[in-house]
Structure 1
Amino acid sequence: MSRLGTPRALIVFESMFGNTHKIALAIRDGLRDVITTELVRADQAPAEIPADVRLLVVGGPTHAFSLSRRSTRMQAAQQDQVMMPPETGIREWLQGLPDRTTQTTAVTFDTRVAKVRRLPGSAARSAGRLLRRRGFTLVAAPESFFVHDMTGPIEPGEIDRARAWGKELAAELKPQLGRRHHAQAVRYRGRY
């Protein structure tokens, strides 16, 4: 349960070079005016989705047209300044989740290299398929945010776009949560 005992959002992300983490932070900033939002790396994410989580946001970098695998994370780990250990990513975390037993809905996002925007494959779409297999209802289309190169930096305007996407998700959640929860989220947002 969250500290407030009220509905919350959970963002689970994977990030090797920090770009997806920055996008996840911006999405959190967009959400947290309406709902208490927790951000956690995939290798530290809960084995089950807590009952008070109303929205699960899952994001990671697109590696080889899909979610990363241990082998692609090992290749990335050979670069300098890697943020996460390569053992557990979004793919492994999602595969280990039990089928949905709560009212949690889900959305997915990814980061991908800007110069290959039109190529098929997306970590967000792959994550969405795994979530649907577990019984989650996806409430928005997968969203991609763009980086200049594999290690970054994030393309201009993408942080603002991620924050705006979080606000859009929050606006869709607001009617389900009611005024009382919104007031609590605003009052406590500095703590999370």
Structure 2
Amino acid sequence: MRVVIVYESLFGNTRQVAEAISDGVRESRPDAEIDCLTVEEANAERVGAADLLVVGGPTHMRGMTSGLTRKMGLQAEQKESEGDQEKPRHEPEEGAEGPGVRDWFHGLSKTRNGARAAAFDTRADFRLAGGAAHAIARKLRSHGYQLTAEPEGFIIEDTEGPLREGELDRAKAWGAALD
């Protein structure tokens, strides 16, 4: 079985979740070939070979990020850290200014029959925070993928993180349960 996990991450939280999902898949399927890729690394050849495609990204403005919301998020963190010298600075991930999941879907081809997928996001834990996972799942279905799990959200404590305690364990368990 070949599993490809594609993620977008601004400050490292979604990357950590993607890596935990990868660990869970590896634990439950030791024979699986697993690639954990940023959206920049996830080209058609690598994604097309997947038996299971898992896609995730952060939540911005109650849904998937856009070029504008990514830029706003990076600028807000920079401005906040400049205004509060006591607050630790969160460095953006390498490639954080590049394309996000929403843009990546524009280049994703329709899949062959029977290809499976799952969607996840990272999000804040307040009522109006929304989530990106359901929008990612809709995009996957529109590209011909069959979802093997309900879209899942993993909670961050603040805009830049960290992840809530226990979320990486939950992500690993979610990955192990993917079929």
Provide TM-score, normalisation by structure 1: 0.79
Provide TM-score, normalisation by structure 2: 0.84
**What do residues 91-116 of structure 1 show as CA deviations (whole Å, max 9, x unaligned)?**
111122111126420000000012x1
Per-residue deviation, 1:159: 0.6
Q: Is the 8 A contact 2:47 2:53 kept in 1?
A: no
Which one-letter code corresponds to 1:110 in the other structure?
A: D
The answer for the alignment partner of 2:42 in structure 1 is 45
SS in 2 for 1:32: helix
SS in 2 for 1:106: strand
Q: Is the 8 A contact 2:51 2:116 kept in 1?
A: yes
Number of aligned residues: 162
Q: Which moved more, 1:29-38 or 1:61-70?
A: 29-38
Q: Is the 8 A contact 1:9 1:53 kept in 2?
A: yes
* Coordinate RMSD, CA, aligned: 1.6
The CA distance in 2 between the partners of 1:13 and 1:104, in whole Å, is: 18
The answer for the alignment partner of 1:3 in structure 2 is none
- Summarize the alignment of residues 35-184 of structure 1 with structure 2, pairs less than 5 Å apart: 35-48=32-45, 50-78=47-75, 79=77, 80-83=90-93, 84-101=95-112, 103-114=114-125, 116=126, 118-119=127-128, 121-169=130-178, 173=179
Per-residue deviation, 1:49: 5.4
Structure 2, unaligned runs of 5 or more:
78-89
The answer for the alignment partner of 1:8 in structure 2 is 2
Q: Is the 8 A contact 1:59 1:108 kept in 2?
A: yes
**What do residues 84-143 of structure 1 show as CA deviations (whole Å, max 9, x unaligned)?**
3323110111122111126420000000012x1x33632110111111111111111000
Per-residue deviation, 1:70: 0.2
Per-residue deviation, 1:48: 4.8
Structure 1, unaligned runs of 5 or more:
1-6, 174-192
Per-residue deviation, 1:43: 1.7
Q: Is the 8 A contact 1:61 1:110 kept in 2?
A: yes
Which one-letter code corresponds to 1:75 in the other structure?
A: M
The CA distance in 2 between the partners of 1:69 and 1:58, in whole Å, is: 16
> Displaced runs of 4+ in structure 1, greater than 3 A?
48-52
